[in-house]
Amino acid sequence: MTQVREDLRNIAIIAHVDHGKTTLVDQLLHYSGTFRENEQVAERAMDSNDIEKERGITILAKNTAINYKDTHINILDTPGHADFGGEVERIMKMVDGVLLVVDAFEGCMPQTRFVLKKALEQKLRPVVVLNKIDRPNARPSEVVDEVLDLFIELGADDDQLEFPVVYASALNGTSSYEPDAQEETMQPIFDTILEHIPAPIDNQNDPLQFQVTLLDYNDYLGRIGIGRVFRGTIQVGQQVALMKTDGTVKNFRVSKLFGFIGLKRVEIEEAKAGDIIAVAGMEDINVGETVCPIENQEALPTLRIDEPTLQ
C-alpha cells in the first residue's frame, strides 16, 4: 500500500475576484488559532500587495499554512486572471486539491471558469465553498447547479463531479453542510479538506526532487526558490545539484530552508516529500528548475512560464 503523509495537505484556493478568498483565509487562520491571541493579522492574508489592491487582482501568489487537528495545511493563493495562466498551472502542480470559492449570489464568473478549468486539467479534486451565504439575495441551490453545469462543461471526471459543498459566510466566520444551518465555526471547511483532499505520497526514501515553482527575493538571502519536495528529503548544509532548464547543472549548498506557518516563513532544518518550502543558497535559481542529489540527477518535467518572473 502506498504510504501517505496524513499530517499534511497541500491545496490551492481559487475564485473569481471578490468572491472572498482573502476573507476566508483570514477566518481559517483565526479559527485554527494559528495566530496567538495577541498577534493580530497586520495585513490581510493575501491582499497585501499594493499593485494588487490597485488593480483589484491577485498578482503575487502567497503561501499560508494552517495547523488543524495535527495536520499542516498549506494553502496557496492562485491568481484568477488569465494573464497569469503559467503561474496558475505551476501552482496546480504543487497541490493535491483545490478549494473553489464561489459567491452564493453572483455564481460562476469568468475567472471561476478559468481557474477551475486549470484545476480539472491537473486532475485535482475540488472542494466547493459557496461563500457569502449571508447575502439576502443569495441563491445557494441555483449556484450549486451552475457549478455542477460548469464542471460538466469543462470535462470533469467522475471523481471530480462528486465535489463536496460547504456553505459559508467568510465575513461572519460561519459555515455548514447545509445552506440554512450556519454555525459559528469553520470546522466543516477544515474537515472537508481533510476528508476529500488526498494526503501527499510519502516517498521520502527515494532520491530528492524539489522543483522551484515560484521565486522570492530577500536582501540577506538573495534569491529564494519556493516549491514542493516531490520526493526524498532536503537538509540545511546539504550539497545538491540544481538542474537548469538549459540543460546545465550547478552544484550548491543549501544555506537555509523555510517552511510556512500562518503568514510567516519559519526556518527549518529538514523538509521531506510533500512539503512546500523555500530554499535559499543558490543565486541564480529559476522557475522550473529541479534540485536533486549530485549523484542522482533526474529533472522533473519543465513548467510553463509565460509571465515576467522576479529579477
Using the minimum distance from each CB to ligand GDP, give the nearer residue, 139 or 250: 139
Residue 69 CA to residue 110 CA, distance in Å, equals 35
Is residue 15 at the binding interface for ligand GDP, with CB under 6 A as the rule? yes
What distance lies between CA 277 and its chain's CA centroid?
12
CA distances from 11 to 28, 97, 162, 179, 255 (A): 13, 5, 17, 24, 27
- Nearest to ligand GDP of 58, 204 (CB atom): 58
218, three cell numbers: 530577500
Closer residue to ligand GDP in complex, CB, 22/176: 22
> Between residues 56 and 198, which has the closer beta carbon with respect to ligand GDP?
56
Q: How many residues does the chain have?
A: 311
- CA 30 to chain centroid, in Å, comes to 18
Asked whether the beta carbons of 246 and 270 are under 8 A apart, the reply is no
- 51 labelled binding-site residue: no
d(CA 81, CA 90): 14
- Report strand pairing: 233-235 vs 270-272: antiparallel
Using the rule CB under 6 A, give the single segment among 19-27, 65-73, 257-265, 288-296 that binds ligand GDP. 19-27
Exactly one of 18, 146, 206, 270 binds ligand GDP (CB under 6 A); that residue is 18
Among 169, 192, 204, 290, binds ligand GDP (CB under 6 A): 169
Does 134 show up as a binding residue in the annotation?
yes
Position 171 contacts ligand GDP (CB under 6 A): yes
Residue 270 CA to residue 232 CA, distance in Å, equals 11
296 labelled as ligand-binding?
Answer: no
* Residue 52: Cβ-neighbour burial (10 angstroms; 0-12, 13-18, 19+): middle
Tell me how far, at minimum, the Cβ of 17 lies from ligand GDP, in Å: 5
Under rule CB under 6 A, residue 259 binds ligand GDP = no
User: CB-wise, 59 or 171, nearer to ligand GDP?
Assistant: 171
Nearby residues of 223 by Cβ (< 8 Å), 6 or more positions away: 215, 216, 217, 280, 282, 283, 284, 285, 310
Of residues 216, 231, 219, the one with CA closest to residue 279: 216
Q: Does the annotation flag 290 for ligand binding?
A: no
Residue 118 within binding range of ligand GDP, rule CB under 6 A: no
Q: How far is the CB of 231 from ligand GDP (least distance, A)?
A: 33
One residue of 8, 10, 11, 20 binding ligand GDP per CB under 6 A: 20
Q: Which is nearer to ligand GDP, 87 or 275 (CB)?
A: 87
User: What is the distance between the terminal CA atoms of the chain, rounded to a whole angstrom?
Assistant: 44
Q: State which H helix or E strand residue 117 sits in.
A: helix 110-121
Judged by CB under 6 A, the chain residues 83 through 102 that form the site for ligand GDP are none
Closer Cβ to ligand GDP, 135 or 244, answer by number: 135
* CA atoms of 14 and 210, how far apart (whole Å): 24
Known binding residue 50? Answer is no
| Nearest distance, CB of residue 303 and ligand GDP, angstroms | 25
# of chain residues touching ligand GDP (CB under 6 A): 16
Residue span 36-75 as binding mask against ligand GDP, x where in contact by CB under 6 A, dash where not: -----------x----------------------------
**Where does this chain bind ligand GDP (CB under 6 A)?**
15, 17-23, 47, 131-132, 134-135, 169-171
Binding-site positions for GTP: 18-23, 131-134
